Every structure is written in C-alpha cells, then in structure tokens.
Structure 1
C-alpha cells in the first residue's frame, strides 16, 4: 500500500502550522468510518493571519507584477504534484472515498494537467490591449486596456472532487497574480493541506501568496466572506451556502464567483438507442456515489420506451453495485459522511411518500462506513422533490416525455442549469434540442466537455461565472482602461 503524505497542517504566511489553540478534529475514511488522521481546527486568529499575510503579499511583494516568477513557481508546483502523485492519489481514495479509476480524470490527472494548461496560458496571455487613438470630446487620446489581478482571493471548496476544484481556483488565481487563502471543506482538509505542504517545501512561491486554513466552524470560515481585505470569494458548493456567501460579501461589494448545484437532465430522443443511453446515464449516476454537481440525475425518455429505460438503468446499477473505492473495479464508492448518508436516506423516504417505486436499490447498506445502494426511482414526474432537488447520492430518477418540445420543457423546468446531455440518432436534431437547454455545459451523443481549456459553470441557480478555460482565468482579473494624450 502506498504511504500517505505527512499529517495535515495549515499554511499561513509561508509556515506549516497547527491551529493556534492546538485543537484538532478527526479525518474519517468514508468507506470504513475509521479515523485516518487529524486536521488542525483553524481559529479566527488563524484565518485573520492568513488574510493579513495574503493582503501583505499582494500589496508589497512582486507577485502581482512578475510574470516570470509566477510561471516558474507554478511549474515547480506542477512538478511537485507529479512527483507526489502516488501518495496524493492514495490519500484521495481514503479521505474522499473516491474510486481509483477517477484519478485518471477529475480525481488527479485532469486538475494537474489544468495547472500546466493555465501556466502555459500565462506565458502567452496579453495583459494589455491597444485601443488606438480616438478623440472623445475633441481630445486626441491614446487608449490602453490593461488586465490586472483582482487581489486577495478566498477560495472556499467542497469535499466531492477537492483536488479538481482546489486547483481550478488556485491555478488561475495565482497565475493572474492574485494571492489566495484556501479554505477546504472539513470533510476533506488533508488533500488541501497537502497542496500547502508542496507549495511550502517545493516551490519558490513567496510567503503569504498561498495560504491554507482548515477551520471546522462555519462561523470562523465566514470571516473570509466579510473581511474587507479580501477582494474576491470563489466558492463551489451548495446553492444555499452560495446564497449566504453572496449576502455576506454584499456589504463590502466583493467580487463573487459561485459554482453551485445541479439537477441535470439526460434527454433521450425517440430515435436514439434507448439501451445505450439509459445504461450510460445510470453508469454516470453511480460514479463516485453520485457526488458530482454536473452528473445527469434525471433520465428523460420517450414515454413509449419508459419501461425499457427503467429496466436497463436498473440492470446497469445492479451490475455496478457499491464497492470499496480501493477495489480496482469500483465505480460507486461510499458517500462522504454519515450526514450525507442520512440526507440521501431521507430523499429515498420522500420518493416513496411521493408515489415513486424503486426499480433497484432504495436503501442504505448496513456495513461500516457510509453506503447507499445505487438506486433507480420510477413513477415520479418532474414536479417531484426528487426531480427538482439535488440529492448528491447514487440516485437516478426516470421521467417520461412526449416529444422534443416536452423534453426541453422538462429539462428547463428546474431552478438549476449546470449540465445535461441529449442523445439522438440524428446529430443535427440532438444539437437543435441541446441549443434550447438553459445550461452551462451539455453533451451531444456522448461528447465530453470536461477539459482544462473548456469553461465550466451554470445558468440560473447553478452559479455565477465560469471556471477553467480562458474565461476561468479571466475571472481573477480586473479591467483598467488608461488614456493619455496622443502624440503628434
């Protein structure tokens, strides 16, 4: 078995430290419920110290203006992650409960590739644009548009795919010239702390430029949203918490990036291969126990093929099952915690209350750790809570439609708009339907949008702004227009 990294510590002003009052909290393996380590329980003083360090580093160091320094340091971090890959992946499996096959995608490889991608972008990005000469109000002026870093960024991240989301915020923010305070979810503090250790021990990133704090208390973490020294909050998580962060940031008018919930629809048109589409959607709903905001958790199928779709989805989930994430064949592991398991269990109770039936699954698994049976729910329409609310478990709701227009209506009849898919025997028909879906990403006939160069984000209550791609990098920049008297 690969050895795990050193114990979790905070990184504050260039120093790896515990909590200022010495307190810790346990880190649990969700597959077993057993303690695998301890994390520093960051205090208000720790958060204040990290903010002060980030503010000082932005205002007084050359980080914001020295592109070559940033490129060199980010390349050092990228190499350190590659060198640390085995331990980092092992840690992710036991702390997050993430199946090993995901390490080749969102678990590790794609976010690490994303760090390289944004560093390559930094080397060529044009921070200044010449607008040429104009004579507004009769004054001949030379105009320049300059892009400058936002300043101090508070990055608040969730537990489901922490390395993907940590690096999707840290990489662009640091590349842009910002300084960062990273606050991970208390369910997965260790992978974030490991990033801090790599920065401290293997890069030339100046003290205070990157900080990691691991408070368990929401009240302590909330200081990041209210402190006037923080210029931007970049948050990924639930829509309810996103609203609270937006409200807390309002008095100081901070810039806010929000990547929030989803209840994405997989639309299958009447000329598609129903077996292939239903099977693929059921497979996706099982990945990492359904703990992904962009997973398609509503399977919207032609009414005349409804029974077949339910049967295929159920058979697919039964063949996958729920397995130890350390098992090389695991697709669906545990959910992250007892709190999350109980939340999913309550939705299964609601499914029956609303008149739904379970084609497979429908219960918790009675074993150590936090396990839910992969579940297909039939007999509900799109107005049900299970079709409207984000569950974050391996639960798929199958909904009938009566043609393309009705399928579009069902997909858009949601508070969310993060992702989705359309399958058809006619790619142009599928693209026409996809164009009508109000969502930030969408797959047509199995296409894959997840890539470091592709912007990701949502419409409606799925968030504000975009992560990854050039758009994700530019979230961390301000725009300044400069005018001077034109020569000649």
Structure 2
C-alpha cells in the first residue's frame, strides 16, 4: 500500500518502495516517486562499517550532536531504543554511508504512543504561558546548535549549507512565535439572547498530535507542527523521513535536553524512526487526535482515508505544481533572480519550487535568454562547501525520475534550453533544466515532478496566465511579477490565483513563518505555522453559563 513502484533493498530482500511509507515531499502522481535506498547494516561488511563518514575525522562534528556510528531511532522519555530494521543513512553528495540507525517496530511504537499519551496528563495541566517558556528554551537550545544541525541537514539531505542553517533558523523563529502565542490564543465571549446568561467558546488541546515529515525539510516542518502543538497543550509523536533519520535523532536529542533540564517527561515529544509499518499504525491509531502529514498527494490521500475512517482529524501538506507569471511590465532582472532561486534552489526539491514559468509573449525571449545565462553561472558542488548554490538530488531514485521526466518532455515536443543530463561525478547530481516548446496542458507539464525542471510557457495576457495557473490539480503557491495595480488585485481576488499562497513580485518559495502555510485542492487544504493555524491543534467548545435563577430557553421556546 501507499504505492511507489520503485524497488528498494532492505534487509537483504527486494521489496517495493511502497512498503516504505511516507518518505518524502510530493513528486509526480503519475510517475515513480523518489524512493530512498536503505541497506540494512546486517548486509554491510566490516570494511563498510569502518568507512562510515562519522568515523572520519572530517566529520567528527557529528558526535557533537550526540550521534555515533550506530544510533537508536526510538525515544519516548527513557533511554533511546529500537527493535526494528537496521538501516544506513547515505550522503547524497557522494553516496557514502554516514552512520547507522536501528528503527522502531510495532512494539516500539506501542510503547511510544502509550508513554506519549501518559505524558499528556502532565503537560495539559501546565499553564499555557509556562508551556511557552519550555518552547522558548527549545528555541534557545536550537540556536546553540544551529550551525551543527544545519550542517547535518546539508550532509544528509543534500541542500546547501545556508539553506540547512536557514531551516533550523525557521524552527527557532516558529518557537519564538509560539512563545507569544502561548499568551494570546483565546476564544470569544458572545452576547447571549437570554438574560443572566453568558455565551462563550473555550479552546482546549486535542491530546496527541502525530507528525510525519518529509526528507526535504526534515527540521522546519516538524518545528512548525511541534512548536504550535506543544504550546496549545498537546504531546507529540514524530516519524521523520526514513532517509533523514540522523537529522530526526539529533533534533530530538536537543529537545530531550530541555525536557530533562525541566524535570518533564521526555515523551511530551516522542520519536519513532521507521517506515510503512509505523506510518500505517499512526494513521489508524485513534489515540492520535490529529495526524499531520507532509508528503506526496498520492500518499496523503491514503493517509487521509485511513484517518477519516476512524473520524480522526488530518492536516495535509501535499504537492504543488507551482507557477510564476511574468507580465510584460515586470522588472526582468528581479524576475531572473527570483526564478533562479525558485526553480533551481534545493535542486528543485521544495514543495514550493517553481515548476511552470509563464511569460508574456513580449518578454518571453529575453527572459529565457537571461535565465539560461544565469543557470550556466550557477555554482554546483558539495552542498557543505562555501559558495555552492546548487547541490545534489536527495536520492538515486530522484535522479531516475528526473531523467525519465526529461525523456517524456522531449517525446511530447519539448526543447531543452539548458541542462537535461546527469552530471558525471560522485553523488546524485543532475543539471538544472529549462524546457520550452510544450503546450500549457501537456501531460508532463500538468504533473508535479520533484526535480529541478522548469517548463517555460508563452502567454498572451495575464488573464490567460491565471487560467493556466489554476488548471493544475494542486494549489500550493503562485506568484506574479507586474507593476500594474489592476493586475495585482485581480491576481489576489476571487477570480485570481486559487492557491493557498499568492505572491506578487517575489518567488514562489521562501515563505515566512508569520503567515499560514498550505494550499488548496490536491495540496490538501491544511495550514501550518502562523496566522490562526493554531486552531487545527485544538478543539473548540461552545459554552453557555446560566448565572441567574431563571431557565429561559433559546429562541423563546416555552416548554411548560
């Protein structure tokens, strides 16, 4: 189930990647999804064990995050443990093994969820501002490790170091935001139609929030959920992506230190590293009051069905086939700089990456020419090294998806303006790619491909561009570059972009934490981070209090 047709080797046997549920941000729903290759350490030779990067003096800094050659991937307030599969995490920049992790199994999950539910009895009794103080301390602990944790993310996920550090900063920022929220979230008092009565609403925590995150943002997305969930009085059970277990473990160890320092149960924020078995258990478990899932649209739909079957609550952050529109009056230098980041940043592996670049016919040739020149100057290399702006894809399966998609685009009439090839070097490096010549509704354009490929389309007007923006199944983020106020407000209005994020004169990617993050349609409808996203982590009660000696009924009903 949770089908991905790619084949993965685990514990010496071949199985479909569908058996490794919930592994990454969305990819094309009609193509093979990026499946991440794990090799059981039971299959690794002693020589390979010696060659783990963590044992190389160059990577000794990993041990400052509490990591070792072998790590346990389960934590629920006692010692670290794990009885599941023994897997190896690989560096996408060179495909060398970093370290090993024993994941959790069903028994580990049962212990973890029981401890997490028990911890809620303590956590829910703590006043919200005091919970906010704990989250503030978590933010401070992250600040102290921001360089190291960002470096680990760069090593294990493959994004460039400034982005890795920036992602940890995003967790710090949302922790700061949550601290303020802990003194502000509130219901309302409404006028009652009955004399001597008060009508109000009360917000209470849901209980336990399950969080499943993706490989491409292994820290920030967890931070969005965890910070808000904790200050609103919930406990947490987290399953990170199977291909970034070291980042999940290191992040949890930082949080663990804060709870221990405050003599609080560590199971307030539990972790179970695992695959399909753990993900399925979480989705079906009635003890999880809210299931927050970040990943592909296809897998998200299956998660939602399992959660809704038990009448649970679901928060989905799924795919995005995002468009950046350029009108004829746009500042083209700003356009090119924005498109370079939005299309090629994180090697095209953001849910907010620009997949479609819709250019007005009057500026089409100039923008394509300038963008090709910018791509040619993009520094490619080891993402940890200074000055590098473009690193590897996260997995070998992602490279295969990239190559297959380019083949499909060419077969459908596309023309490669730049890129289109795998780079001949160690690691999962491919060229960032610009493709022109395709119809706006070509099959390959209409599907999201989680790779650094952008399709450039030529339009005649903003109205036509808006129609094209809205015709795909997903509705995550969008942007228009124009100086025309009429077009700006048309874009923002009811007949404009149908996405959850609607930008003007900035890229499609790079959202701030103060606004709600999420999208419409097949993106799932969930909202995380700022604004009133906190409401999704709480239950609302409408309360009527009679402080009189009379018993009037609403609507003036007499029952005598």
Q: Same fold (TM over 0.5)?
A: yes
With over 3 angstroms needed to count, the CA separation of the structure-2 counterparts of 1:434 and 1:141, relative to structure 1, is: closer
1:50 maps to which residue? Answer: 112
> Which whole-Å deviations, capped at 9, do the CAs of 1:355-403 have from their partners, x for residues lacking one?
1111010011122111110100011112123321111211111001111
1:376 maps to which residue? Answer: 434
2:365 maps to which residue? Answer: 307
Contact residue 282 and residue 313 of structure 1 kept, 8 A: yes
Q: Does 1:110 align with 2:110?
A: no
Q: Within 5 Å, which residues of 2 pair with 1:113-262?
A: 113-126=173-186, 128-135=187-194, 141-203=197-259, 204=262, 205-215=264-274, 217-262=275-320
Contact residue 12 and residue 53 of structure 1 kept, 8 A: no
Q: Does 1:283 align with 2:344?
A: no
Separation (CA, whole Å) in 2 of partners of 1:230 and 1:333: 37
2:500 maps to which residue? Answer: 440
1:353 maps to which residue? Answer: 411
Separation (CA, whole Å) in 2 of partners of 1:16 and 1:363: 47
Contact residue 378 and residue 398 of structure 1 kept, 8 A: yes
Contact residue 129 and residue 179 of structure 2 kept, 8 A: no
SS of residue matched to 1:35: strand
1:478 maps to which residue? Answer: 539
With over 3 angstroms needed to count, the CA separation of the structure-2 counterparts of 1:81 and 1:42, relative to structure 1, is: same
Corresponding residue to 1:324 among 375, 382, 385: 382
Corresponding residue to 2:145 among 64, 81, 84: 84
2:23 maps to which residue? Answer: none
**TM-score computed with the length of structure 2 as normaliser:** 0.82
Contact residue 283 and residue 316 of structure 1 kept, 8 A: no
Deviation at residue 64 of structure 1 after TM alignment: 5.1
Corresponding residue to 1:404 among 448, 457, 462: 462
With over 3 angstroms needed to count, the CA separation of the structure-2 counterparts of 1:13 and 1:385, relative to structure 1, is: same
Separation (CA, whole Å) in 2 of partners of 1:319 and 1:43: 47
Corresponding residue to 2:96 among 34, 46, 49: 34
> Which whole-Å deviations, capped at 9, do the CAs of 1:189-225 have from their partners, x for residues lacking one?
111211221222233342321101101x313321000
2:553 maps to which residue? Answer: none
Q: Structure 1 stretch 43-52 or stretch 28-37: which is displaced more?
A: 43-52
Deviation at residue 255 of structure 1 after TM alignment: 0.4
Q: Structure 1 stretch 301-310 or stretch 190-199: which is displaced more?
A: 301-310
Deviation at residue 268 of structure 1 after TM alignment: 0.6
**TM-score computed with the length of structure 1 as normaliser:** 0.94
Deviation at residue 275 of structure 1 after TM alignment: 4.8
Separation (CA, whole Å) in 2 of partners of 1:317 and 1:226: 45
Contact residue 443 and residue 449 of structure 1 kept, 8 A: no
Q: Does 1:100 align with 2:158?
A: no
Deviation at residue 445 of structure 1 after TM alignment: 1.6
Deviation at residue 16 of structure 1 after TM alignment: 3.8
Separation (CA, whole Å) in 2 of partners of 1:62 and 1:411: 45
Where does the alignment leave 5 or more consecutive residues of structure 2 unmatched? 1-57, 550-560
Deviation at residue 303 of structure 1 after TM alignment: 2.3
SS of residue matched to 1:478: strand
Deviation at residue 62 of structure 1 after TM alignment: 4.0
- Size of the aligned set, in residue pairs, is 480
Deviation at residue 65 of structure 1 after TM alignment: 4.7
Contact residue 462 and residue 487 of structure 2 kept, 8 A: no
SS of residue matched to 1:442: strand
Deviation at residue 321 of structure 1 after TM alignment: 4.7
RMSD: 1.9
2:78 maps to which residue? Answer: 15
Contact residue 19 and residue 42 of structure 1 kept, 8 A: yes
Where does the alignment leave 5 or more consecutive residues of structure 1 unmatched? none
Separation (CA, whole Å) in 1 of partners of 2:267 and 2:228: 17
Separation (CA, whole Å) in 2 of partners of 1:39 and 1:102: 25
> Which whole-Å deviations, capped at 9, do the CAs of 1:53-79 have from their partners, x for residues lacking one?
122222x32435532431222122111
1:487 maps to which residue? Answer: 548
Separation (CA, whole Å) in 2 of partners of 1:188 and 1:256: 23
Q: Structure 1 stretch 452-461 or stretch 117-126: which is displaced more?
A: 117-126
